[in-house]
Amino acid sequence: MNQSLGPPLAMMMGMACMLAGYLYQSFIPAQAVWTDEQAREYSQNSARLHTATYGKEHDHSKPHSHDAPNLKDEEYVAAKAAFEKSVQARDRALARLEWIKYGLIFTGVIIAGGGVGVVALEKMRSDDAPRPHKKSHKHHEEKKHQHH
């Protein structure tokens, strides 16, 4: 049987890609998609919005009310816009993480599937190829008796 190393290697590479997709967060730092600066900005914008919404004197250690913010206040509008921008950046980073994960898994499935497909095609071709018939012992004996 004449088989190349390509299909088994493709299957192994595909399996490695799939495994990498499941484990990539263990070896790719979060900073690859969400920088420390973005995280700091997100925290600052969150605190700014909280202050603009509830005031500087807002103290969580004491009983307090959560009155509705003044939606027309310039500081509130600016803080809300900055925070929403940070939320969108965070959401894009989370989406990139998912794209990397499923991209690796899907790529692995395609590569491994290609290897399996090549092996299946080779098997089908070898099954369809004409083979020399082996004559059975009984058939050989019958031929011998016909000549005598």
Q: If you count them, how many residues does the chain have?
A: 148
Q: Distance (Å, rounded) from C-alpha 119 to C-alpha 14?
A: 14
For position 138, what pLDDT does the model report? 59
Residues 113 and 13: beta-carbon distance below 8 Å: no
Residues 33 and 77: beta-carbon distance below 8 Å: no
Q: Enter the pTM of the model.
A: 0.60
Two structure tokens written together for 28: 């790719």
pLDDT, tens only, 58-107: 666 666 566 666 677 888 899 999 999 999 999 999 898 889 889 999 99
Domain boundary assignment for the chain: 6-130
pLDDT, tens only, 52-62: 887 776 666 66
pLDDT, tens only, 7-46: 889 999 999 999 999 898 787 777 888 899 999 999 999 9
For position 17, what pLDDT does the model report? 93
Whether the predicted pLDDT of 143 surpasses 80? no
